[in-house]
Structure 1
Amino acid sequence: MATSTLLFPTTPSSSLSSTPHSPPFPISANPRRLRQAPSSAAAAFRFLRPREAVRAKSDLLSLISDQERGLRTQRDPSKRAEIVVAIEALAAAAKGSVTTGPPLSATWRMLWTTEKEQLFIIKNAPFFGTEAGDVLQVIDVEKGTLNNVITFPPSGVFFVRSSIEAEPPQRINFKFTSAVLRGSNWEIPLPPFGKGWFESVYLDEDIRVVKDIRGDYLVVDRAPYSWKE
Protein backbone atom coordinates (compact mmCIF):
# COMPACT_ATOMS: atom_id res chain seq x y z
CA MET A 1 0.00 0.00 0.00
CA ALA A 2 1.66 3.12 -0.32
CA THR A 3 3.03 -0.98 0.04
CA SER A 4 -0.01 -0.54 -1.22
CA THR A 5 -0.12 1.12 -4.41
CA LEU A 6 3.00 2.89 -3.46
CA LEU A 7 5.65 0.37 -2.50
CA PHE A 8 7.09 0.00 -5.97
CA PRO A 9 7.07 3.37 -7.78
CA THR A 10 8.64 3.65 -11.20
CA THR A 11 7.83 6.49 -13.56
CA PRO A 12 5.33 9.35 -13.26
CA SER A 13 2.04 9.31 -15.11
CA SER A 14 -0.41 11.97 -16.15
CA SER A 15 -3.02 13.43 -13.82
CA LEU A 16 -6.63 12.34 -13.73
CA SER A 17 -8.99 14.00 -16.14
CA SER A 18 -11.03 16.74 -14.52
CA THR A 19 -14.02 16.16 -16.82
CA PRO A 20 -16.92 14.36 -15.11
CA HIS A 21 -18.08 11.13 -16.71
CA SER A 22 -21.53 9.60 -16.79
CA PRO A 23 -22.00 6.81 -14.25
CA PRO A 24 -21.61 3.28 -15.65
CA PHE A 25 -25.09 2.16 -14.58
CA PRO A 26 -28.36 3.73 -13.31
CA ILE A 27 -28.23 5.43 -9.94
CA SER A 28 -30.39 4.32 -7.05
CA ALA A 29 -33.23 6.65 -6.15
CA ASN A 30 -31.80 6.83 -2.65
CA PRO A 31 -28.01 6.99 -2.96
CA ARG A 32 -25.89 6.71 0.14
CA ARG A 33 -25.47 10.19 1.56
CA LEU A 34 -22.29 11.64 2.97
CA ARG A 35 -22.37 12.24 6.69
CA GLN A 36 -21.65 15.80 7.73
CA ALA A 37 -17.91 16.33 7.87
CA PRO A 38 -16.43 17.22 11.25
CA SER A 39 -15.64 20.91 11.66
CA SER A 40 -11.90 20.20 11.78
CA ALA A 41 -12.12 18.80 8.25
CA ALA A 42 -14.33 21.54 6.82
CA ALA A 43 -11.52 23.20 4.90
CA ALA A 44 -10.64 19.96 3.15
CA PHE A 45 -14.21 19.35 2.00
CA ARG A 46 -15.39 22.87 1.12
CA PHE A 47 -14.73 22.46 -2.61
CA LEU A 48 -16.73 19.22 -2.97
CA ARG A 49 -19.75 19.28 -5.26
CA PRO A 50 -22.16 17.37 -3.01
CA ARG A 51 -24.58 15.90 -5.56
CA GLU A 52 -21.88 14.76 -7.96
CA ALA A 53 -19.75 13.40 -5.11
CA VAL A 54 -22.61 11.42 -3.54
CA ARG A 55 -23.52 9.83 -6.86
CA ALA A 56 -19.94 9.02 -7.89
CA LYS A 57 -19.07 7.69 -4.44
CA SER A 58 -22.12 5.42 -4.44
CA ASP A 59 -21.19 4.12 -7.90
CA LEU A 60 -17.59 3.45 -6.91
CA LEU A 61 -18.37 1.61 -3.68
CA SER A 62 -20.95 -0.52 -5.47
CA LEU A 63 -18.54 -1.40 -8.28
CA ILE A 64 -15.71 -2.52 -5.98
CA SER A 65 -17.88 -4.28 -3.38
CA ASP A 66 -17.45 -7.77 -4.90
CA GLN A 67 -13.96 -7.38 -6.35
CA GLU A 68 -11.97 -9.08 -3.54
CA ARG A 69 -9.78 -6.00 -3.04
CA GLY A 70 -8.92 -6.01 -6.76
CA LEU A 71 -8.15 -9.69 -7.39
CA ARG A 72 -11.25 -10.18 -9.53
CA THR A 73 -10.67 -6.88 -11.35
CA GLN A 74 -7.34 -8.17 -12.65
CA ARG A 75 -9.26 -10.73 -14.71
CA ASP A 76 -11.94 -8.31 -15.93
CA PRO A 77 -10.69 -5.33 -17.98
CA SER A 78 -14.22 -4.04 -18.58
CA LYS A 79 -14.90 -3.91 -14.83
CA ARG A 80 -11.62 -2.09 -14.29
CA ALA A 81 -12.63 0.47 -16.90
CA GLU A 82 -15.98 1.03 -15.16
CA ILE A 83 -14.26 1.53 -11.82
CA VAL A 84 -11.79 4.01 -13.29
CA VAL A 85 -14.68 6.01 -14.79
CA ALA A 86 -16.27 6.19 -11.33
CA ILE A 87 -12.95 7.27 -9.81
CA GLU A 88 -12.53 10.02 -12.39
CA ALA A 89 -16.07 11.25 -11.74
CA LEU A 90 -15.34 11.40 -8.02
CA ALA A 91 -12.06 13.22 -8.64
CA ALA A 92 -13.87 15.75 -10.82
CA ALA A 93 -16.43 16.35 -8.07
CA ALA A 94 -13.54 17.06 -5.66
CA LYS A 95 -11.52 19.24 -8.02
CA GLY A 96 -9.88 22.08 -6.09
CA SER A 97 -10.17 20.38 -2.69
CA VAL A 98 -7.11 20.23 -0.43
CA THR A 99 -6.41 16.66 0.68
CA THR A 100 -2.95 17.03 2.22
CA GLY A 101 -4.00 18.53 5.57
CA PRO A 102 -4.92 17.06 8.98
CA PRO A 103 -7.91 14.99 7.73
CA LEU A 104 -5.38 12.85 5.82
CA SER A 105 -3.96 11.60 9.13
CA ALA A 106 -5.57 8.23 9.89
CA THR A 107 -5.25 4.47 9.69
CA TRP A 108 -6.59 3.78 6.21
CA ARG A 109 -7.72 0.26 5.23
CA MET A 110 -7.53 -0.94 1.65
CA LEU A 111 -10.83 -1.73 -0.08
CA TRP A 112 -9.56 -2.03 -3.67
CA THR A 113 -6.41 -1.47 -5.71
CA THR A 114 -4.81 -2.09 -9.10
CA GLU A 115 -1.31 -2.46 -7.60
CA LYS A 116 -0.02 -5.80 -8.89
CA GLU A 117 2.67 -6.52 -6.30
CA GLN A 118 0.29 -6.00 -3.43
CA LEU A 119 -2.41 -8.15 -5.01
CA PHE A 120 0.22 -10.85 -5.63
CA ILE A 121 0.97 -10.98 -1.90
CA ILE A 122 -2.74 -11.15 -1.01
CA LYS A 123 -3.38 -13.91 -3.54
CA ASN A 124 -0.36 -16.06 -2.72
CA ALA A 125 -0.12 -15.72 1.07
CA PRO A 126 -1.83 -19.15 1.56
CA PHE A 127 1.11 -20.85 -0.20
CA PHE A 128 3.26 -19.71 2.72
CA GLY A 129 0.88 -21.07 5.32
CA THR A 130 -0.77 -17.77 6.13
CA GLU A 131 -3.43 -15.38 4.90
CA ALA A 132 -3.29 -11.65 4.28
CA GLY A 133 -5.39 -9.64 6.69
CA ASP A 134 -5.96 -5.90 6.58
CA VAL A 135 -3.74 -3.87 4.27
CA LEU A 136 -3.19 -0.39 5.65
CA GLN A 137 -1.76 3.06 5.12
CA VAL A 138 -1.04 4.78 8.41
CA ILE A 139 -0.45 8.49 7.85
CA ASP A 140 0.53 11.21 10.30
CA VAL A 141 0.72 14.54 8.51
CA GLU A 142 1.99 16.47 11.54
CA LYS A 143 4.88 14.06 12.14
CA GLY A 144 5.54 13.61 8.42
CA THR A 145 5.32 9.81 8.50
CA LEU A 146 3.67 7.05 6.51
CA ASN A 147 3.59 3.33 7.30
CA ASN A 148 2.49 0.89 4.60
CA VAL A 149 1.30 -2.28 6.30
CA ILE A 150 0.23 -5.79 5.31
CA THR A 151 -1.00 -7.86 8.25
CA PHE A 152 -0.84 -11.66 8.48
CA PRO A 153 -3.06 -12.70 11.40
CA PRO A 154 -2.73 -13.54 14.14
CA SER A 155 0.67 -11.91 14.72
CA GLY A 156 2.55 -11.45 11.44
CA VAL A 157 3.08 -8.11 9.74
CA PHE A 158 5.16 -6.55 6.98
CA PHE A 159 5.48 -2.79 7.10
CA VAL A 160 7.48 -0.08 5.38
CA ARG A 161 8.27 3.21 7.09
CA SER A 162 8.40 6.39 5.02
CA SER A 163 8.91 10.09 5.47
CA ILE A 164 6.42 12.31 3.68
CA GLU A 165 6.21 15.89 2.48
CA ALA A 166 2.94 17.53 1.45
CA GLU A 167 2.65 19.31 -1.88
CA PRO A 168 -0.83 20.88 -1.80
CA PRO A 169 -3.47 20.67 -2.94
CA GLN A 170 -3.42 16.86 -3.30
CA ARG A 171 0.08 15.41 -3.67
CA ILE A 172 2.18 13.67 -1.02
CA ASN A 173 5.84 12.97 -1.80
CA PHE A 174 7.30 10.04 0.12
CA LYS A 175 10.63 8.32 0.64
CA PHE A 176 10.97 4.86 2.16
CA THR A 177 13.27 4.80 5.18
CA SER A 178 13.09 1.20 6.47
CA ALA A 179 11.10 -2.02 6.27
CA VAL A 180 10.36 -4.81 8.74
CA LEU A 181 9.00 -8.35 8.47
CA ARG A 182 7.80 -9.34 11.94
CA GLY A 183 6.36 -12.48 13.53
CA SER A 184 5.19 -13.24 17.06
CA ASN A 185 8.72 -13.54 18.47
CA TRP A 186 11.05 -12.55 15.64
CA GLU A 187 11.80 -9.59 13.39
CA ILE A 188 13.79 -9.19 10.17
CA PRO A 189 14.84 -5.65 9.17
CA LEU A 190 14.94 -4.95 5.45
CA PRO A 191 16.54 -2.08 3.53
CA PRO A 192 14.43 0.81 2.19
CA PHE A 193 13.86 0.72 -1.54
CA GLY A 194 12.29 3.71 -3.19
CA LYS A 195 10.50 7.02 -3.28
CA GLY A 196 7.62 8.52 -5.21
CA TRP A 197 4.35 10.37 -4.82
CA PHE A 198 0.63 9.81 -4.63
CA GLU A 199 -2.37 12.09 -4.98
CA SER A 200 -5.50 11.77 -2.86
CA VAL A 201 -7.93 12.84 -5.57
CA TYR A 202 -10.89 12.45 -3.20
CA LEU A 203 -11.11 12.47 0.59
CA ASP A 204 -14.07 12.67 2.95
CA GLU A 205 -14.94 11.44 6.44
CA ASP A 206 -15.41 7.87 5.14
CA ILE A 207 -13.07 7.09 2.25
CA ARG A 208 -10.05 8.27 0.28
CA VAL A 209 -9.25 7.63 -3.39
CA VAL A 210 -5.66 7.69 -4.59
CA LYS A 211 -3.75 7.73 -7.85
CA ASP A 212 0.01 7.17 -7.63
CA ILE A 213 3.19 7.78 -9.58
CA ARG A 214 2.66 4.66 -11.72
CA GLY A 215 -0.98 5.32 -12.55
CA ASP A 216 -2.22 2.70 -10.09
CA TYR A 217 -5.39 3.34 -8.12
CA LEU A 218 -6.25 2.75 -4.48
CA VAL A 219 -9.52 3.05 -2.57
CA VAL A 220 -9.35 2.99 1.24
CA ASP A 221 -11.68 3.61 4.15
CA ARG A 222 -10.96 4.83 7.66
CA ALA A 223 -10.21 1.73 9.72
CA PRO A 224 -12.19 1.33 12.96
CA TYR A 225 -8.89 1.11 14.86
CA SER A 226 -5.47 2.80 14.92
CA TRP A 227 -2.53 0.62 13.89
CA LYS A 228 0.64 0.98 15.96
CA GLU A 229 4.05 -0.59 15.51
Structure 2
Amino acid sequence: MIVSSVLLAPPSPFLRNPNPNPNPNPSSPIPPKPHRLPRPPSSQSPSSTAPLLPKSLLLSLISDQDRGIKTQSNPSKRAEIIQAIEDLAVLSAGTITTGPALSATWRMLWTTEKEQLFIIKNAGLFGTAAGDVLQVIDVGNGVLNNVITFPPDGVFFVRSSIDPAPPQRVNFKFTSAVLRGSNWEIPLPPFGQGWFESVYMDDEIRVAKDIRGDYLVVDRAPYSWKE
Protein backbone atom coordinates (compact mmCIF):
# COMPACT_ATOMS: atom_id res chain seq x y z
CA MET A 1 0.00 0.00 0.00
CA ILE A 2 1.34 3.37 -0.92
CA VAL A 3 1.05 6.15 1.62
CA SER A 4 2.43 9.63 1.13
CA SER A 5 5.21 11.07 3.22
CA VAL A 6 2.59 12.90 5.26
CA LEU A 7 2.36 9.66 7.26
CA LEU A 8 5.86 10.33 8.52
CA ALA A 9 4.66 13.48 10.28
CA PRO A 10 4.15 12.91 14.03
CA PRO A 11 0.51 11.88 14.40
CA SER A 12 0.41 12.32 18.18
CA PRO A 13 -1.27 15.76 18.44
CA PHE A 14 -4.30 14.50 16.58
CA LEU A 15 -4.84 10.80 17.20
CA ARG A 16 -6.23 11.27 20.70
CA ASN A 17 -9.92 12.14 20.42
CA PRO A 18 -10.59 15.41 22.29
CA ASN A 19 -14.21 14.39 22.84
CA PRO A 20 -14.47 11.83 25.69
CA ASN A 21 -17.92 10.77 24.51
CA PRO A 22 -17.51 10.33 20.75
CA ASN A 23 -20.45 10.01 18.45
CA PRO A 24 -19.26 7.75 15.60
CA ASN A 25 -19.83 9.00 12.11
CA PRO A 26 -22.33 6.54 10.59
CA SER A 27 -21.15 7.39 7.08
CA SER A 28 -17.69 6.01 7.81
CA PRO A 29 -18.18 2.69 9.63
CA ILE A 30 -15.05 1.37 11.30
CA PRO A 31 -15.14 -2.25 12.41
CA PRO A 32 -14.24 -2.46 16.11
CA LYS A 33 -12.89 -6.00 16.00
CA PRO A 34 -9.69 -7.31 14.40
CA HIS A 35 -10.11 -9.51 11.38
CA ARG A 36 -8.83 -12.97 10.68
CA LEU A 37 -6.78 -13.99 7.70
CA PRO A 38 -8.63 -16.00 5.07
CA ARG A 39 -8.13 -19.70 5.54
CA PRO A 40 -5.36 -20.89 3.21
CA PRO A 41 -6.97 -23.10 0.56
CA SER A 42 -5.97 -26.70 1.06
CA SER A 43 -4.57 -28.57 -1.90
CA GLN A 44 -3.67 -31.70 0.01
CA SER A 45 -4.98 -34.17 2.53
CA PRO A 46 -3.80 -33.90 6.17
CA SER A 47 -1.45 -36.82 5.65
CA SER A 48 0.03 -35.50 2.41
CA THR A 49 3.63 -34.31 2.34
CA ALA A 50 3.26 -32.48 -0.99
CA PRO A 51 4.39 -28.83 -0.91
CA LEU A 52 1.78 -26.12 -0.54
CA LEU A 53 0.71 -24.20 -3.61
CA PRO A 54 2.11 -20.62 -3.74
CA LYS A 55 -1.09 -18.91 -2.54
CA SER A 56 -1.58 -21.37 0.31
CA LEU A 57 2.07 -21.05 1.26
CA LEU A 58 1.93 -17.25 1.24
CA LEU A 59 -1.15 -17.11 3.48
CA SER A 60 0.43 -19.62 5.83
CA LEU A 61 3.69 -17.66 6.04
CA ILE A 62 2.01 -14.33 6.88
CA SER A 63 -0.64 -15.74 9.22
CA ASP A 64 1.36 -15.07 12.41
CA GLN A 65 3.31 -11.98 11.33
CA ASP A 66 1.08 -9.26 12.87
CA ARG A 67 0.57 -7.57 9.48
CA GLY A 68 4.35 -7.42 8.96
CA ILE A 69 5.56 -6.10 12.32
CA LYS A 70 7.18 -9.41 13.29
CA THR A 71 8.69 -9.81 9.84
CA GLN A 72 10.74 -6.63 10.30
CA SER A 73 13.03 -8.44 12.75
CA ASN A 74 13.09 -11.75 10.89
CA PRO A 75 15.02 -11.50 7.59
CA SER A 76 14.66 -15.20 6.80
CA LYS A 77 10.87 -15.05 7.17
CA ARG A 78 10.76 -11.94 5.00
CA ALA A 79 12.76 -13.74 2.31
CA GLU A 80 10.38 -16.72 2.41
CA ILE A 81 7.33 -14.48 2.08
CA ILE A 82 8.80 -12.48 -0.79
CA GLN A 83 9.74 -15.69 -2.59
CA ALA A 84 6.15 -16.92 -2.25
CA ILE A 85 4.98 -13.59 -3.70
CA GLU A 86 7.38 -13.88 -6.61
CA ASP A 87 6.17 -17.43 -7.28
CA LEU A 88 2.58 -16.16 -7.41
CA ALA A 89 3.66 -13.36 -9.74
CA VAL A 90 5.16 -15.89 -12.16
CA LEU A 91 1.91 -17.87 -12.22
CA SER A 92 -0.07 -14.68 -12.85
CA ALA A 93 2.29 -13.08 -15.37
CA GLY A 94 0.38 -11.24 -18.10
CA THR A 95 -2.97 -11.52 -16.31
CA ILE A 96 -4.96 -8.27 -16.40
CA THR A 97 -5.46 -7.02 -12.84
CA THR A 98 -6.42 -3.41 -13.58
CA GLY A 99 -10.04 -3.99 -14.61
CA PRO A 100 -13.34 -3.65 -12.72
CA ALA A 101 -12.44 -6.51 -10.33
CA LEU A 102 -9.77 -4.23 -8.84
CA SER A 103 -12.53 -1.99 -7.45
CA ALA A 104 -13.04 -3.02 -3.83
CA THR A 105 -12.32 -2.23 -0.20
CA TRP A 106 -9.04 -4.10 0.28
CA ARG A 107 -7.88 -4.87 3.83
CA MET A 108 -4.20 -5.17 4.63
CA LEU A 109 -2.97 -8.58 5.77
CA TRP A 110 0.78 -8.01 5.46
CA THR A 111 3.19 -5.39 4.16
CA THR A 112 6.83 -4.32 4.14
CA GLU A 113 5.94 -0.61 4.10
CA LYS A 114 7.68 0.99 7.07
CA GLU A 115 5.35 3.99 7.45
CA GLN A 116 2.28 1.79 7.76
CA LEU A 117 3.96 -0.57 10.21
CA PHE A 118 5.29 2.32 12.32
CA ILE A 119 1.78 3.68 12.85
CA ILE A 120 0.30 0.24 13.58
CA LYS A 121 3.05 -0.56 16.07
CA ASN A 122 3.14 2.80 17.86
CA ALA A 123 -0.47 4.00 17.82
CA GLY A 124 -0.80 3.02 21.48
CA LEU A 125 1.74 5.68 22.44
CA PHE A 126 -0.76 8.30 21.34
CA GLY A 127 -3.74 6.96 23.26
CA THR A 128 -5.29 4.97 20.44
CA ALA A 129 -4.93 1.71 18.51
CA ALA A 130 -4.80 1.03 14.80
CA GLY A 131 -7.75 -0.89 13.38
CA ASP A 132 -8.12 -2.03 9.79
CA VAL A 133 -5.72 -0.59 7.23
CA LEU A 134 -7.45 -0.31 3.88
CA GLN A 135 -6.89 0.42 0.22
CA VAL A 136 -10.19 1.50 -1.31
CA ILE A 137 -10.13 1.50 -5.10
CA ASP A 138 -12.75 2.70 -7.58
CA VAL A 139 -11.43 2.04 -11.08
CA GLY A 140 -14.46 3.53 -12.84
CA ASN A 141 -14.09 6.89 -11.10
CA GLY A 142 -10.29 6.82 -11.04
CA VAL A 143 -10.04 7.10 -7.25
CA LEU A 144 -7.85 5.45 -4.60
CA ASN A 145 -8.11 6.03 -0.84
CA ASN A 146 -5.42 4.74 1.51
CA VAL A 147 -7.03 4.46 4.94
CA ILE A 148 -5.88 3.78 8.50
CA THR A 149 -8.71 3.40 11.01
CA PHE A 150 -8.51 4.15 14.72
CA PRO A 151 -11.61 2.63 16.35
CA PRO A 152 -14.11 3.58 17.44
CA ASP A 153 -14.33 6.72 15.30
CA GLY A 154 -10.90 7.93 14.17
CA VAL A 155 -9.55 7.67 10.65
CA PHE A 156 -6.66 8.96 8.57
CA PHE A 157 -6.97 8.73 4.81
CA VAL A 158 -5.09 9.91 1.75
CA ARG A 159 -6.98 10.49 -1.49
CA SER A 160 -5.36 9.78 -4.84
CA SER A 161 -6.28 9.84 -8.49
CA ILE A 162 -5.37 6.72 -10.45
CA ASP A 163 -4.60 5.90 -14.06
CA PRO A 164 -4.56 2.14 -14.80
CA ALA A 165 -1.89 0.94 -17.22
CA PRO A 166 -2.77 -2.68 -18.12
CA PRO A 167 -2.01 -5.42 -17.67
CA GLN A 168 -1.04 -4.92 -14.00
CA ARG A 169 0.23 -1.40 -13.26
CA VAL A 170 -1.75 1.47 -11.73
CA ASN A 171 -0.24 4.95 -11.68
CA PHE A 172 -1.39 7.22 -8.87
CA LYS A 173 -1.04 10.80 -7.67
CA PHE A 174 -1.89 11.99 -4.15
CA THR A 175 -4.50 14.75 -4.08
CA SER A 176 -5.43 15.36 -0.41
CA ALA A 177 -5.33 13.90 3.09
CA VAL A 178 -7.60 14.10 6.13
CA LEU A 179 -7.25 13.20 9.80
CA ARG A 180 -10.75 12.86 11.25
CA GLY A 181 -12.31 12.23 14.67
CA SER A 182 -15.92 12.01 15.79
CA ASN A 183 -16.58 15.75 15.55
CA TRP A 184 -13.39 17.25 14.14
CA GLU A 185 -11.37 17.09 10.94
CA ILE A 186 -7.90 18.30 10.02
CA PRO A 187 -6.81 18.56 6.36
CA LEU A 188 -3.18 17.66 5.69
CA PRO A 189 -1.07 18.39 2.59
CA PRO A 190 0.11 15.19 0.93
CA PHE A 191 2.44 15.16 -2.01
CA GLY A 192 3.88 12.55 -4.31
CA GLN A 193 3.03 10.10 -7.02
CA GLY A 194 4.07 6.64 -8.11
CA TRP A 195 2.72 3.28 -9.20
CA PHE A 196 1.90 -0.18 -7.92
CA GLU A 197 1.45 -3.47 -9.73
CA SER A 198 -1.09 -6.07 -8.67
CA VAL A 199 0.98 -9.12 -9.55
CA TYR A 200 -1.73 -11.52 -8.37
CA MET A 201 -5.47 -11.10 -7.81
CA ASP A 202 -8.39 -13.46 -7.36
CA ASP A 203 -11.78 -13.32 -5.65
CA GLU A 204 -10.16 -13.43 -2.18
CA ILE A 205 -6.78 -11.71 -2.14
CA ARG A 206 -4.52 -9.35 -4.07
CA VAL A 207 -0.73 -9.10 -3.96
CA ALA A 208 1.07 -5.93 -5.05
CA LYS A 209 4.56 -4.51 -5.51
CA ASP A 210 5.21 -0.78 -5.76
CA ILE A 211 7.65 1.79 -7.07
CA ARG A 212 9.67 1.71 -3.82
CA GLY A 213 10.08 -2.06 -3.83
CA ASP A 214 7.56 -2.63 -1.04
CA TYR A 215 5.13 -5.54 -1.00
CA LEU A 216 1.49 -5.68 0.05
CA VAL A 217 -0.95 -8.54 0.62
CA VAL A 218 -4.63 -7.62 1.04
CA ASP A 219 -7.96 -9.40 1.13
CA ARG A 220 -11.42 -8.25 0.08
CA ALA A 221 -12.97 -6.73 3.21
CA PRO A 222 -16.49 -7.91 4.13
CA TYR A 223 -17.66 -4.29 4.11
CA SER A 224 -17.29 -1.19 1.93
CA TRP A 225 -15.51 1.81 3.43
CA LYS A 226 -17.01 5.21 2.63
CA GLU A 227 -15.86 8.69 3.54
Partner of 2:114: 116
Structure 1 residue aligned with 2:138, among 137, 140, 151?
Answer: 140
Matches within 5 A, 1:77-96: 77-96=75-94
Matches within 5 A, 1:1-229: 1-3=1-3, 7-8=4-5, 29-30=44-45, 55-229=53-227
**Matched position secondary structure for 1:202:** strand
C-alpha separation in 2, matches of 1:213 and 1:168: 16
Letter in 1 for 2:177: A
Letter in 2 for 1:93: L
Residue 30 of structure 1, CA deviation: 4.0
After superposition, what is the alpha-carbon deviation per residue over 1:15-72, rounded to whole angstroms, capped at 9, x for unaligned?
xxxxxxxxxxxx96249xxxxxxxxxxxxxxxxxxxx9x8100000000000000000
Identity of aligned residues (%): 77
C-alpha separation in 2, matches of 1:154 and 1:195: 31
- TM-score w.r.t. length of structure 2: 0.80
In the comparison of the two structures, how many residue pairs are matched? 188
Residue 156 of structure 1, CA deviation: 0.2
Letter in 1 for 2:63: S
Residue 2 of structure 1, CA deviation: 2.6
Structure 1 segments, 4+ long, off by >3 Å, are none
C-alpha separation in 1, matches of 2:2 and 2:105: 12
Partner of 2:29: none
C-alpha separation in 1, matches of 2:199 and 2:95: 8
Structure 1: 5+ residue stretches without partners: 9-26, 32-51
C-alpha separation in 2, matches of 1:74 and 1:116: 9
After superposition, what is the alpha-carbon deviation per residue over 1:75-121, rounded to whole angstroms, capped at 9, x for unaligned?
00000000001000000010110000000000000000000011000
C-alpha separation in 2, matches of 1:30 and 1:68: 28
C-alpha separation in 2, matches of 1:74 and 1:133: 20
Structure 2: 5+ residue stretches without partners: 6-41
C-alpha separation in 2, matches of 1:118 and 1:92: 27
**Matched position secondary structure for 1:188:** strand
C-alpha separation in 2, matches of 1:28 and 1:224: 25
Partner of 2:39: none
After superposition, what is the alpha-carbon deviation per residue over 1:146-178, rounded to whole angstroms, capped at 9, x for unaligned?
000000000000000000000000000000000
Partner of 2:19: none
C-alpha separation in 1, matches of 2:223 and 2:63: 21
Aligned-pair Cα RMSD in Å? 1.8
- TM-score w.r.t. length of structure 1: 0.79
